[in-house]
Structure 1
Amino acid sequence: MIRAVLFDLDGTLLDRDESVKKFINDQYKRLHNYLGHISKENYMTRFIELDNHGYVWKDKVYQQLMEEFGIAEIDWEYLLKDYISEFKHHCVPFPNLHGILEELRRNNFVLGMITNGYGQFQMDNIAALGIEKYFEAILVSETEGIKKPNPEIFERALKRLNVNPNESVFVGDHPENDVVAPEHVGMKGIWKKDVQWGTFETNYIVEDLGELLIIIKKLNNESSLK
């Protein structure tokens, strides 16, 4: 019987691609005195390419942008600090985010989150989405000193939630980190479908967070029949 639902953050609860677009558009406008020699379209497009859906940290992204676009009046550290302090003001939730978390809590599921990334940066984004209150355990890889897909971070989260692996599902957009890895420790993986990964064959897939409870109820029905 499923008792706990654990989530990834970026690409699962936070629409990171849309958030990045909003942030970069704002950064370009705010720092136009330094960036105005670059077209906004070129600046945004190249940032998004170098960022690689968040899998490249922004120190490298900004250093590359400085070199390619000849940004001279400010340094990359200035741009990085701006990213760290301002990104949280541009966080875009996926549709039905608050609704599904409310519904899961009403149905007495225990909720947790495991996200790779920098501790305070990720916690700021979670706070910006207004969802911290729903979770009984939030594990950020920098703070934990270990990251997905290492099985230990899943085991650590389950221990904090006081649930067994076979009582838990993990929901995320990354096939390896969020579906295969939790299944290795005995959890059920639910893929939040993301076109950037192409086709990925797995048993449980949602395209919208609102579909989650249907799948979880199905899993519990299957369990009761065994």
Structure 2
Amino acid sequence: MVKAAIFDLDGTLLNRDESIEKFINTQYDRYKKIVGHIPKDKYVTRFIELDNRGYVWKDKVYQQLVAEFEITDITWEELLQDYINDFKNNCIPFPNLIGLMEELKKRNFRLGIITNGKGQFQMDNIKALGIEKYFDSILISEWEGIKKPDPQIFKRALEDLNVLPNQSLFVGDHPVNDVKAAQNVGMIGIWKKDHQWNSVEADFIIADLAELPLIIDNTKKLNVPSC
């Protein structure tokens, strides 16, 4: 019987693509007197390109932006600090996030998050989504000293939740760091569809968080042992 659900954050619970676009638009507006010599669509597009969906930390992104656009009245460090301070105010959840959390708690599921990233920054985003209260374990790579796909961070979450791997499922948008990594430790790996990949091997695939309860009801199809 599945007793626990563990989630990735960015691209799974947090709609990071929409959130980053919202943030960078508002940042441009805040600093228009300084960056107004750059067309807004060019500033926004270049930031998103350099960000590479979060795989490049923003110190490098802002250093590149400042150099390319010849921004002189504000430092890259100040722009980075603005990002750290304000991104949480632009967090957009995927549809049905709170409804799913409520449903899983009604079922007495133990819930966890494993996310790569900066500790306080990611925790601020989790709080901004209003979901911190639902989780029994939140592991953020900077604070843990290990990151996905390292199996140890998955095992640490399982220990926190006091469940076996075959009593647990992991939901994430990355085929390797999330799905395959979870399967490698014996968990059920569920891929939340992402336009970056066309075909992903997973135990189950969902396009919407609201589909997860039905997936849980059907986990016997995987011949998951009763515990």
Instruction: Please state which band the TM-score falls in when normalised by the shorter chain.
Output: over 0.9
1:124 alignment partner in structure 2: 124
**Given the alignment of the two structures, is residue 14 of structure 1 paired with residue 14 of structure 2, yes or no?**
yes
Instruction: Give the counterpart letter for 2:87 in structure 1.
Output: F
Counterpart contact for 1:2–1:220, Cα < 8 Å: no
Instruction: Give the counterpart letter for 1:117 in structure 2.
Output: G
Change beyond 3 A, Cα 1:225–1:52 = closer
Q: Secondary structure at the match of 1:13?
A: coil
1:133 alignment partner in structure 2: 133
RMSD over aligned CA atoms reads 1.3
Q: Report the Cα distance in structure 1 between the residues aligned to 2:83 and 2:138, rounded to whole angstroms.
A: 23
Over residues 91-144 of structure 1, what are the superposed CA-to-partner deviations in whole Å (9 max), with x where a residue is unaligned? 000000000110011011110000000000000000000000000000000000
Instruction: Give the counterpart letter for 1:40 in structure 2.
Output: K
Q: How many residue pairs are counted as aligned between the two chains?
A: 226
CA displacement at 1:196 relative to structure 2 = 1.0
Q: Report the Cα distance in structure 2 between the residues aligned to 1:224 and 1:97, rounded to whole angstroms.
A: 26
TM-score (norm 1): 0.97
Identity, % of aligned positions: 64
Q: Report the Cα distance in structure 2 between the residues aligned to 1:176 and 1:109, rounded to whole angstroms.
A: 25
Change beyond 3 A, Cα 1:202–1:107 = same
Q: Report the Cα distance in structure 2 between the residues aligned to 1:127 and 1:5, rounded to whole angstroms.
A: 19
Instruction: Give the counterpart letter for 1:172 in structure 2.
Output: G
Counterpart contact for 1:6–1:169, Cα < 8 Å: yes
Q: Report the Cα distance in structure 2 between the residues aligned to 1:124 and 1:177, rounded to whole angstroms.
A: 22
Q: Report the Cα distance in structure 1 between the residues aligned to 2:187 and 2:222, rounded to whole angstroms.
A: 15
Q: Report the Cα distance in structure 1 between the residues aligned to 2:45 and 2:224, rounded to whole angstroms.
A: 50
Instruction: Give the counterpart letter for 2:53 in structure 1.
Output: H
Counterpart contact for 1:119–1:140, Cα < 8 Å: yes
Instruction: Give the counterpart letter for 1:109 in structure 2.
Output: F
Counterpart contact for 1:115–1:140, Cα < 8 Å: yes
1:68 alignment partner in structure 2: 68
Counterpart contact for 2:175–2:201, Cα < 8 Å: no
Q: How does 1:147-158 map to 2 (within 5 A)?
A: 147-158=147-158
Further displaced range: 215-224 or 53-62: 215-224
1:28 alignment partner in structure 2: 28
Instruction: Give the counterpart letter for 2:4 in structure 1.
Output: A
Q: Report the Cα distance in structure 1 between the residues aligned to 2:20 and 2:199, rounded to whole angstroms.
A: 24
Change beyond 3 A, Cα 1:5–1:224 = closer
CA displacement at 1:199 relative to structure 2 = 2.0
Counterpart contact for 2:166–2:224, Cα < 8 Å: no
Q: Report the Cα distance in structure 2 between the residues aligned to 1:163 and 1:49, rounded to whole angstroms.
A: 40
Change beyond 3 A, Cα 1:87–1:225 = closer
Q: Secondary structure at the match of 1:197?
A: coil
**Given the alignment of the two structures, is residue 50 of structure 1 paired with residue 50 of structure 2, yes or no?**
yes
Q: Secondary structure at the match of 2:37?
A: coil
Q: Report the Cα distance in structure 1 between the residues aligned to 2:225 and 2:13, rounded to whole angstroms.
A: 32
Q: Report the Cα distance in structure 1 between the residues aligned to 2:138 and 2:203, rounded to whole angstroms.
A: 26
- Please state which structure has a larger fraction of its residues in helix: 1
2:91 alignment partner in structure 1: 91
**Given the alignment of the two structures, is residue 208 of structure 1 paired with residue 220 of structure 2, yes or no?**
no
